[in-house]
């Protein structure tokens, strides 16, 4: 009875919160639609922002570090940016971002990007600062709910709990666009090098803590490139991305089952860490079809006082095909099939204490297959509502963050999970 009252109380709070957000969106939207910038030293300065609030209910396993089997609204994010063109070729801007996704983010704001961008020519520009990483179709825009038909992008390729791993780097990019002769379309390229730094409220660090490893720092070198071809076939774009990383982490090990003494310092280092992504998108009239394949390989070793105690090779492969159809101007429906598989092989003295090797991707703890249907309604130009159903088979490995975490599923995992996702977003 007390639980029911508590649930009712939580439900009431959630309803008030959602209603408050709807009302705020409505009022602020109308005001801000007409005030998205100002003049500074005779330059137009643009200010834009966004916010989204989601609610997820799952029938069995808790998902994305939330208590979703009870229904959870701990799915909030927002951001605001300011930018201006200083000259014809020079542009500066920055964006602040904050989110709370179950146990992740926890409303600790971060600088999402802050760039100085100078474009020498159409075919050559440079940008530096904290720059969004170009990887596939949507890595850089994965947080921007209002740009996407789906409430959750395919998690096989865009795991929202691992956004920190790919979202941005502090460094520099070169980029440009080149027209091809003989009406062969055009090519856009990006090359980048920088430093990735994960928040301590990110998925990897949250998962490691469940095994007694408490990271104080996790990140490292990130470099790569992207090449995309806007083909002569109107609406068809195909591309390829590659990202290499050299990641190190510093952690305190409080796991009593490890070989070392309790509370010792541990570091991990990646020997090989790369991601390949191939993608294509085709849009014609009211239809848009996307497909991507991503493979991520992480070969790491963990050492204590200079001695390697554990090695691990994690091989993650994911792909999806999605389709969206705009039924009428304000209603879009969509569906995707997303397929994720993982293998994990450990070695070294501490491997006896690590989870057993996982190589059979047909098992539910080594894959997640997700069938999704969604409907997006645009109430007006700044405010949308999405309703989405996920029908998942499998729950992925417990050694790598992939949506399902042992900490929030102490009773163990069920093989299948159905989820209802409601989300509303606002932007100006």
Question: Is residue 231 close enough to count as binding another protein by CB under 8 A?
Answer: no
State the number of CA atoms in the 13 A half-sphere of 383 facing the CB.
14
Q: Closer CB to another protein, residue 93 or residue 203?
A: 93
φ/ψ (deg, to 5) at 411: -80, 0
State which of residues 10, 17, 26, 91 lies at the interface with another protein (CB under 8 A). Answer: 91
- What binding mask, one character per residue, do residues 349-388 give for another protein by CB under 8 A, x or -? --------------------------------x-------
Stretch that binds another protein, among 16-24, 118-126, 249-257, 268-276 (CB under 8 A): 118-126
Closest CA to 140 of 118, 116, 119, 169: 169
User: What is the footprint of another protein within residues 186-215 (CB under 8 A)?
Assistant: 186, 188
DSSP symbols for 377-411: EESSSSEEEEEEEEEEE----TTS-SS--GGG-TT
d(CA 36, CA 277): 36
Closest CA to 283 of 330, 234, 228: 234
104 strand-pairing partners: 101
The CB-of-35 to another protein minimum distance in angstroms stands at 14
Q: Closer CB to another protein, residue 168 or residue 421?
A: 168
State which of residues 44, 257, 265, 356 lies at the interface with another protein (CB under 8 A). Answer: 44
d(CA 259, CA 267): 15
Question: Is residue 85 close enough to count as binding another protein by CB under 8 A?
Answer: yes
Q: 323 to each of 2, 290, 328, 370, how far by Cα in Å?
A: 45, 6, 16, 14
State which of residues 132, 196, 376, 390 lies at the interface with another protein (CB under 8 A). Answer: 132
Is-contact 403 390, C-beta < 8 A? no
Question: Is residue 269 close enough to count as binding another protein by CB under 8 A?
Answer: no
User: What is the footprint of another protein within residues 160-189 (CB under 8 A)?
Assistant: 177, 179, 183, 186, 188
Mapping DSSP to helix (H, G, I), strand (E, B) and coil, where does residue 70 land? Answer: helix
Stretch that binds another protein, among 114-122, 198-206, 215-223, 251-259 (CB under 8 A): 114-122
The CB-of-108 to another protein minimum distance in angstroms stands at 20
The CA-based diameter of the chain, rounded to the nearest angstrom, is 74
Which residues of this protein are in contact with another protein, per CB under 8 A? 44, 46, 48, 50, 79, 81, 83-85, 88-89, 91, 93-95, 113-115, 117, 119, 121-122, 127, 131-132, 140-141, 144, 146-147, 177, 179, 183, 186, 188, 234-235, 283, 286, 326, 329, 381, 427
């Amino acid at each position: 009875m007390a639980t029911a009252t508590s649930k009712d109380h939580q439900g009431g709070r959630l309803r008030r919160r959602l209603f408050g957000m709807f009302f705020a969106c409505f009022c602020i939207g109308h005001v801000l639609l007409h005030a998205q910038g100002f003049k500074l030293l005779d330059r137009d300065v643009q200010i834009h922002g966004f916010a989204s609030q989601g609610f997820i209910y799952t029938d069995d396993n808790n998902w994305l570090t939330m208590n979703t089997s009870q229904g959870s609204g701990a799915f909030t994010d927002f951001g605001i940016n300011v930018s201006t063109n200083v000259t014809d070729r020079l542009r500066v801007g920055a964006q602040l971002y904050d989110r709370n996704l179950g146990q992740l983010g926890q409303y600790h704001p971060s600088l999402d990007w802050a760039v100085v961008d100078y474009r020498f020519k159409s075919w050559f520009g440079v940008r530096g600062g904290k720059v969004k990483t170009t990887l596939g179709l949507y890595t850089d825009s994965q947080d921007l709910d209002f740009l996407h038909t789906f409430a959750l992008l395919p998690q096989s390729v865009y795991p929202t709990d691992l956004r920190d791993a790919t979202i941005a780097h502090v460094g520099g990019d070169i980029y440009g666009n080149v027209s091809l002769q003989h009406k062969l379309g055009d090519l856009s390229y990006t090359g980048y090098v920088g430093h990735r730094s994960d928040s301590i409220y990110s998925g990897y660090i949250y998962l490691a803590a469940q095994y007694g490893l408490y990271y104080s720092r996790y990140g490292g070198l990130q470099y790569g490139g992207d090449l995309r071809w806007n083909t002569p076939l109107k609406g068809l774009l195909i591309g390829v991305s590659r990202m290499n990383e050299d990641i190190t982490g510093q952690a305190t090990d409080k796991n009593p089952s490890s070989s070392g003494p309790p509370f010792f310092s541990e570091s991990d280092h990646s020997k090989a860490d790369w991601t390949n992504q191939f993608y294509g998108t085709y849009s014609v009239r009211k239809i848009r079809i996307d497909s991507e394949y991503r493979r991520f390989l992480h070969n790491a070793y963990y050492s204590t006082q200079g001695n390697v105690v554990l090695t691990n090779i994690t091989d993650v492969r994911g792909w999806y095909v999605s389709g969206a159809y705009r039924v009428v101007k304000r209603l879009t429906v969509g569906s995707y099939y997303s397929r994720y598989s993982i293998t994990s092989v450990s070695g070294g003295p501490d491997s006896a204490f690590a989870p057993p090797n996982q190589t059979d991707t047909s098992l539910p703890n080594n894959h997640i297959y997700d069938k999704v249907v969604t409907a997006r309604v645009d109430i007006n130009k700044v405010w949308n509502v999405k309703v989405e159903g996920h029908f998942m088979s499998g729950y992925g490995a417990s050694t790598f963050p992939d949506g399902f975490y042992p900490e929030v599923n102490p009773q163990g995992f069920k093989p299948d999970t159905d989820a209802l996702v409601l989300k509303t977003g606002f932007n100006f």
